[in-house]
Amino acid sequence: MINGIIGKKVGMTQLFAPDGTVTPVTVIKAGPCVVVQKKSAAGRDGYDAVQIGLVEDRPVKLKNVTKPMQGHFEKTGGGTPPTRVLKEIRLKGENGSGEVNVGDKVLVDQFAEGDKIELVGKSKGRGFQGTIKRHNFNRGPETHGSMNVRRPGSIGQSAYPSRVIKGTRSSGHMGDKRVTVRGLTVARVDVENNLLMVRGAVPGPNGSVVVVRKSAK
């Protein structure tokens, strides 16, 4: 059984309960997806998984994808259209990938209100940032002739080991990394419009691709 789906973050909104309670949610357009490839533990792959593709409103022509990807989609026997986004999802259970076939649809109806899920996405890119913004360092004094206001300070010793230790927090590229958020809750499912409303924060900007999976815990 496939316990995941690919989606795109739409934005945030609010849900109103009959008693007037307001719940902030993040809307995700989840799917529809299609199974492009199946991997099994009995085969050369050594594990059970499926590769699914996100079917978007604007279809992709086979001639517009690269030749390696053309061969990849042609292996399906024409059962699946080319897709821009492909993700792999591990399968769990006794049957593994036996019940799943290439060309099967993966829809948002596998989720229900109250389900615990986890999301995988890319965080927003913040560019090159200093240590105060990137690592929450404190600034130095601004009086008495101090010249160490926003500088990181000492990053090593001069005598021994005479080098900067690996992993030392410093300035650099902030954000734009793979982020997994666990413990989120499904607030509402709109099967007709392929919408999933999640209570909690979802990584990435609006329009970014996320993978939604049922929580293992």
What residue segments make up the domains of the chain, in order of their start?
Answer: 4-124+178-214, 125-175
Q: Cβ distance 196 to 33 under 8 Å?
A: no
**And the tokens for 120?**
């995988």
Is the CATH code 2.40.30.10 the one for domain 4-124+178-214?
Answer: yes
* Tens digit of each residue's pLDDT (9 = 90 or more) over 115-170: 899 999 999 999 999 999 999 999 999 999 888 899 988 888 888 889 999 999 99
**91 and 97 Cβ atoms separated by less than 8 Å:** yes
pLDDT number for residue 97: 54
Q: Are 118 and 184 in contact (CB under 8 A)?
A: yes
pTM of the model: 0.81
Q: Rounded mean pLDDT of 97-119?
A: 83
CA distance 211 to 44: 26
More confident residue, 132 or 62: 132
Q: What is the mean pLDDT of the chain?
A: 86
Reported as a pLDDT band with limits 50, 70 and 90, residue 72 is: confident
The stretches of 98-208 forming alpha helices (DSSP H) are 131-135
User: What pLDDT sits at residue 98?
Assistant: 57
Query: Is the model's pLDDT at 172 over the cut of 90?
Result: yes
Q: What is the reported pLDDT for 119?
A: 92
Percent of the chain with pLDDT over 70: 95
Per-residue model confidence (pLDDT) at position 96: 54
